[in-house]
Chains A and B, each alone.
Chain A
Amino acid sequence: MTALELAAEVRSGQRRAVDVLEEYLTRIDTHEASIHAFNEVTTDLARQQAQAVDDDVQAGRDPGPLAGVPVAFKDNMCTRGIPTTCSSRILENWRPPYDATVVQKVRAAGAITIGKTNLDEFAMGSSTENSAFGPTRNPLDLSRVPGGSSGGSAAAVAAGFAALALGSDTGGSIRQPAAFCGLVGMKPTYGAVSRYGLVAFGSSLDQIGPFAANVADAAALYEVIGGHDPLDSTSIPDLAPTVLDSIDRGVEGLRIGIVRELSGGAGSVEGIRSDVVDRVQAAAVALEAAGATVEEVSVPSTTLGLSAYYLVAPAEASSNLSRYDGVRYGLRVDAATTGEMNAATRTEGFGTEVKRRIMLGTYALSAGYYDAFYGKSLKVRTLMLQEFAAVYQRFDLLLTPTAPTTAFPLGERTADPMTMYVNDVCTIPSNLIGHPAISVPFGVGHDGLPVGVQVLGPALSEALIFRAAATLEAAAEMDR
């Protein structure tokens, strides 16, 4: 049953939200220990909310489009009175005094807050192995990672612990775990969804987006969370996030480009596995069969994306994470002077990857290095924007793999950060230029694990990418 069907049944009084919730809680009870999707299951709050939804239905009030649907939140979104840890020791037990805008919106839509999900510490990672509270496992194969950094959210939906989940995507952190767990995951246009209450990693890159088991559910959740928020200055004014009503219109007549540099063939970045390439080709065939024209297109600057990203994101992170100093909240490790207390707190509170990125970013912003590093990465972003703008003169959408491989085994890449970073090569361009992108499952690789294909579009083309995703989803089902 889809989340939308579930909501329809709850709204019409066919099923009670409290009963739905207990089914989910039972599954969590049974399987969570082996998966570790959650940092916190908010059982009491969820039961209260479900009861309130049922009361609304009883009283003839409409609880909203997501009535009774259990939703999991990545644990970097602030939830009032509920620990929000970013899977970091430094924020262990920190309870925000306020809700993120998306949390409020999801609640207002009648959804049930079922828990806070595990992530790579401060969203820095691609496997959810960088969590201070232990890794999350892929529900499809417990020896493998769920991807990251929103691995807990992906695992929660894949394991049936939640019908929907929210993740945040700074360089692919929604789309790659969606691909690894066989889900739909979408990163909206920068500014389409409020970042208020999302604990910042790379402020100019971060966007919140939906995870769902199918395209329509993801579209429904996007509609709930999208739109202008006066509390986020980078939020787009007067945005109506309407995507569901056009989702079945297909791709007839659309011009779709396959990005050569991410195609695995000649002129492509290395490391994209052939079985993944095959699935992208199959997706292209499916789109053509549905009436689109598909041809290869070169976007050379995509090869610069990884280097630019690993300067911009750490630079912004180094500044965003300065506030964890032991003075006001979170961990404090006492020492003789304030400076020593700051250092001791941060030494103990942050994990290795976070420290690595803070140092990287601090260095990239330093006097004498700014122009060579941070300054240059800004130029790459400008160049990419120009190239993509030119490409979108000739194409409506672009098609790439979501990740170079399927879900890899736990521990395989933790020793060498570079092999981990390369994971993001296909997803990073959308973050650097602020464009929307979606990952849709499209069959399996030769290891039998799901492969995600990625549809990219220009700014505010959400309706179009959901249409293409729905087309691919239908084709994949036919294929099965």
Chain B
Amino acid sequence: MIGHEPSLPDDWELVVGLEVHVELATKTKLFCGCANQFSSEPNTNVCPTCLGLPGSLPVLNGQAVAFAMTLGRALGCEVRPSVMARKNYFYPDMAKDFQTTQYDQPTNVDGELRLADGSVVGIERAHIEEDAGKTSHVGGGGRIGDANYSLVDYNRAGVPLVEIVSRPEIRSVEQARAYVSELRNILLAIGVSDARMEEGSLRVDANVSVRPTGSQELRTRCEIKNINSIRSMGRAIEYEAKRHVDLYASGESPHQETRHWDEDGGRTTPGRSKEDAEDYRYFQEPDLVPLVPTAEEVAAIDEQLPMLPAQRRHRLTQLAPNSADAATIVVERGQDDLVVAAVAAGADAERLLTRVQNDLAVDDWTKVDAEGLAALIGMETAGELTATQTKQVLAELVNHGGDPRTIAEALGFEAMSDDALAGLVDGLIADHPDEWNRFVAGDEGERRKMQGFFTGQIMKATQGQADGRAVADLLNGRAG
């Protein structure tokens, strides 16, 4: 169920917890009316509040809170009364030199994420916080230590985030990838974030440690930052786990620290260590009031939750128990509603899922409707169309829509009814008595050879539109 991790020796087990920061797709920022917009001119979406000017005050964005609670419920969290807190540290892109976040009383706690492979990863918390501005270092190769000067863009300062903290229950790189992609699917399904890793609206930090296989201990972990893609995450986790195993093997042990993933070098490099870690001096944000969601509010959120990916997969596998992989892909593409409707219209579910998975992997499939799809699969199931013909008709449906039977006729496929094929076969037998005798009387090899001959002739005559299996059945039937 959980993928094998090739880079670790069998006697070591990977232990990973992920911290995922997600930018919420609200119209405005978390504490002010500035636009929450990607790629504006630097420092244009700013005001006294998100610049942290003296005297400014925050006003909590109700939309952001609703989004955060919706995400919490989608992750099966308990939505609790919560407070905002100040996390104090100096950094130029932190306009107030503290981050307004949640500390000991987060909005969402104790959820879980059910992955496509059936495994479950616990969610410790999903809390609301503000994003920081963006610093760019100019000169000296863009590194902070060598830069001539630095520029700060506060457009991102105060953008609402939810940080989703998993329990350290991820055991393989594949599972970590599945976790992030499932989380992404959920975010897109509930519409609270565009969840684009390449644009930074979804960011992943990985807490990595290893332990002897079978042990339950949690060993010293390192937090890996600067992960820019799901692929980098896999490489970073793999590298870091290997580093820990090597340290233990040489009698040393890792020490708790933040490390940075170096994409070009393919390794992690040390950042801040625990010893000089900052004391954030958390305390309750006095400029904001506690958030106390009522049972009715939570119930209303539950009511409005759309069907989530896990539920959608479940719905498909109920219909087609042998097509779990296809179900995952079809749900990811958002084609499952079409599939369910086509099954309801009479299509065979397993065959349908195979067709959709393999032959509907296109961007725009809106011209395909459930009735047409069901009719097409019905024709294939009844043997009226071969696999090849079915694909051709489906391609036509994708491009132009329409009725599959009409399309099949227009393509000349309808001649391939059983009777027509039988007529062709009988004609061939009459035209080639020698070959027919060799087929009827020959040994196994000779028979197979002659079957190939007849099938080839039929295919030539039908321009490849005959069903090979039906031809073989006819030949065998005529041979007695």
User: A residues within 8 Å of B by Cβ?
Assistant: 76-78, 84, 86, 91, 94, 96-98, 100, 195-200, 203-204, 230-234, 315-316, 318-319, 322-323, 325, 327-329, 338-339, 342, 362, 365-367, 370, 374
Known pairs A76-B55, A84-B54, A197-B56; list 10 more (Cβ under 8 Å).
Answer: A91-B54, A94-B54, A200-B287, A204-B286, A232-B59, A315-B283, A322-B88, A338-B92, A365-B283, A366-B279
- A91's nearest neighbour on chain B, judged by CB, is B54
A366 to chain B: which residues have CB within 8 Å?
279, 281
Nearest opposing residue in chain A for B59, CB measure: A233
Q: A96-B48, A98-B48 are in contact. Are A322 and B54 (CB under 8 A)?
A: no
B binding-site residues for A, Cβ under 8 Å: 48, 51-60, 86, 88, 90, 92, 95-98, 150, 152, 279, 281-283, 286-289
B288 near A233 with CB under 8 A, answer yes
- Choice from A77, A234, A325, A329 contacting B53 with Cβ under 8 Å: A329
CB neighbours of B58 from chain A (8 A): 233
A366-B88 Cα distance, complex, nearest whole Å:
11
**Contacting residue for A231 out of B57, B60, B281, B286, CB 8 A:** B57
Which chain B residue lies CB-closest to A196? B57
Chain B positions within 8 Å of A315 at CB level: 283
A198 and B90 contacting across the interface, CB-CB below 8 Å: no
User: In the complex, A91→B58 CA distance in Å?
Assistant: 21
Q: Which of A78, A233, A316, A362 has a CB less than 8 Å from the CB of B55? A: A78
24 contacts between A and B (CB under 8 A): A84-B55, A97-B48, A98-B55, A195-B57, A197-B55, A197-B56, A198-B55, A199-B54, A199-B55, A200-B55, A230-B59, A231-B57, A232-B59, A234-B289, A316-B283, A318-B88, A318-B281, A319-B283, A323-B52, A328-B53, A328-B95, A342-B90, A365-B283, A374-B283
Q: How far is A91 from B286 in the complex, measured between Cα atoms in Å? A: 23
Complex contact A233–B60 (CB within 8 A): yes
| Complex CA–CA separation, A365 to B282 (angstroms) | 7
Contact assessment for B88 and A233 in the assembled complex, using a CB-CB cutoff below 8 Å? no
Instruction: Decide if A97 touches B150 in the complex (CB within 8 Å).
Output: no
* B-chain residues with CB within 8 Å of residue A76 when the two chains form the complex: 55
List of 6 A-B pairs having minimum Cβ-Cβ separation, nearest first: A322-B97, A365-B281, A204-B286, A203-B286, A199-B54, A197-B55
Q: How far is the CB of B188 from chain A (nearest CB, A)?
A: 31
Interface centre among A100, A196, A232 (most CB of B within 10 A): A196
A328-B95, A338-B150 given; A319·B281 CB < 8 A:
yes
Contacts of A94 on B, CB cut-off 8 Å? 54
Q: Which of B51, B52, B53 has the most CB of A within 10 A?
A: B53
Q: Smallest CB–CB gap between B96 and chain A, Å?
A: 5
From B51, B57, B288, give the contact of A328 (CB < 8 A): B51
Shortest Cβ gap from A64 to chain B (Å): 24
If over half of B's interface residues share one DSSP class (helix, strand or loop), that class is named, otherwise mixed; here it is loop
| B59 engages A319 (CB within 8 Å) | no
Whole-angstrom distance between the alpha carbons of A328 and B90 in the complex?
13
A84 to B281, CA, bound (A): 29
Min CB distance A431 to B, Å, is 12
Closest residue of chain B to A316, judged by CB? B286
B98 touches A322 (CB 8 A): yes
Q: In the complex, A346→B287 CA distance in Å? A: 24
Q: A342–B289 Cα gap in the complex (Å)?
A: 31
Residue contact B95 to A232, C-beta cutoff 8 Å? no
Give the interface centre of A76, A203, A230, A339 by most chain B CB atoms within 10 Å: A203
Q: In the assembled complex, how far is the CB of residue B398 from the closest CB belonging to chain A, in whole angstroms? A: 52
Interfacial chain A residues near B95, Cβ < 8 Å: 323, 328
Residues of A within 8 A of B152 (CB): 327
**Which A residues are in CB contact (< 8 Å) with B48?**
96-98
Instruction: Give the CA-CA distance A370 to B98 in the complex, in Å.
Output: 17
Residues of A within 8 A of B287 (CB): 200, 203, 233-234
| B59 lies within 8 A of A231 (CB) | yes
In angstroms, Cα B59 to Cα A195, docked, is: 12
If A96-B48, A233-B289 touch, whether A322 touches B55 (CB-CB below 8 Å) is no
For B52, B57, B92, B98, which residue has the most chain A Cβ atoms within 10 angstroms? B57
- With CB as the reference atom, state the residue of chain B lying closest to A86: B54
Task: Say whether A97 contacts B53, CB under 8 Å.
Answer: yes
**With contact pairs A96-B55, A233-B287, A316-B286 given, residues A325 and B60 touching in the complex (Cβ less than 8 Å):** no
Specify the chain A residue showing the minimal Cβ separation from B51: A328
B92 contact set on A, CB distance < 8 A: 325, 327, 338
> With A and B bound together, what is the CA distance between A58 and B58 in angstroms?
41
Residue of A nearest to B92 (CB): A327
Q: How far is the CA of A22 from the CA of B352 in the complex (A)?
A: 89
A322 contacts B57, C-beta separation under 8 Å: no
CB-based contact A322/B96 at 8 Å: yes
What is the CB-to-nearest-CB distance from B423 to chain A, in angstroms, rounded to a whole number? Answer: 83
Nearest-neighbour CB distance to chain B for A77, whole angstroms, equals 7
| Distance between Cα atoms of A97 and B282 in the complex (Å) | 30
Is the beta-carbon distance between B279 and A232 smaller than 8 angstroms? no
- List chain A residues, Cβ under 8 A from B150: 338
Compute how far the CA of A78 lies from the CA of B55 in the bound complex, rounded to whole angstroms: 7
Residues from chain B with a CB closer than 8 A to the CB of A97 are 48, 53
B195 → chain A closest CB, angstroms: 29
Docked-complex contact A77 and B55, CB < 8 angstroms? yes
Bound: A460/B2 CA distance, A? 62
Q: A96, B53: Cβ atoms under 8 Å?
A: yes
| Closest Cβ–Cβ distance, residue A444 to chain B (whole Å) | 37
- Please report the C-alpha to C-alpha distance between residue A196 and residue B286 in the assembled complex, in whole angstroms: 13
- Complex formed: what's the CA distance from A282 to B73 in Å? 63
| Inter-chain contacts of A319 with B (CB < 8 A) | 86, 88, 98, 281, 283
Please name all residues of chain B whose beta carbon is closer than 8 Å to the beta carbon of A196 when the two chains form the complex.
55-57
Q: For residue B51, which residues in chain A have a CB less than 8 angstroms away from its CB? A: 328
Residues of chain B contacted by A374 (CB below 8 angstroms): 283
Quick check: A322 and B283 within 8 Å, CB to CB? no
Asked whether A339 lies within 8 Å of B90 as measured between CB atoms, the reply is yes
Closest beta carbon of chain A to B439's beta carbon, Å: 87
CA distance A100 to B98 in the complex (A): 22
Closest B-chain residue to A330, C-beta based? B54
Closest to B84 in A: A233
Taking a contact as CB atoms under 8 Å apart, the answer to whether B97 and A325 are in contact is: yes
Give Cα distance in the complex from A232 to B31, angstroms: 11
Most chain-B CB neighbours within 10 Å: which of A233, A328, A365, A370?
Answer: A233
A98 cross-chain contacts in B, Cβ below 8 A = 48, 53, 55
Query: In the complex, how many angstroms separate the beta carbon of B59 from the nearest chain A beta carbon?
Result: 5
Q: A85 — nearest CB in chain B belongs to which residue?
A: B54
CA distance A100 to B56 in the complex (A): 9
Which of chain A's residues have a CB closer than 8 A to the CB of B279?
366-367
B57 contacts across to A, CB distance below 8 A: 195-196, 231-233
Q: Among A204, A315, A327, A374, find the residue whose CB has the most chain B CB atoms closer than 10 A.
A: A327
**Chain A residues with CB under 8 A of B52:** 323, 328
A329 to B288, CA, bound (A): 25
Kindly state the separation between the CA atoms of A230 and B288 in the bound complex, as whole angstroms: 12
Chain A's closest residue to B288 (CB) is: A233
Q: Give chain B nearest CB distance to A368 CB in angstroms.
A: 9
Which A residues are CB-close (under 8 A) to B88?
Answer: 318-319, 322, 365
Smallest CB separation, B377 vs chain A (Å): 58
Give A94 to B53 CA distance when docked, in angstroms. Answer: 10
Complex: how many Å from CA A197 to CA B279?
29
Contact: A96 with B288, CB < 8 Å? no
Query: Nearest chain A CB to B53's CB is how many angstroms away?
Result: 7
Cα A138 to Cα B281 with chains together (Å)? 40
Q: Give the contacting residue for A322; candidates B56, B60, B90, B289; CB below 8 A.
A: B90
Q: What is the CA–CA distance of A318 and B90 in the complex, to the nearest angstrom?
A: 12
Residue of B48, B95, B281 most packed against chain A (CB within 10 A): B281
Chain B neighbourhood of A339, CB < 8 A? 90
A5 to chain B, nearest CB (A): 33
Q: In whole angstroms, how far apart are the Cα atoms of A100 and B55 in the complex?
A: 8
Q: What residue in chain B is nearest A206 (Cβ atoms)? A: B286
CB-CB under 8 A from A100, the residues of chain B are: 55
Partner pick for A325 among B55, B90, B281, CB 8 A cutoff: B90
Are A323 and B55 in touch, CB under 8 angstroms? no
Give A76 to B96 CA distance when docked, in angstroms. Answer: 17
Q: Measured between C-beta atoms, what is the minimum distance from A207 to chain B in Å?
A: 13
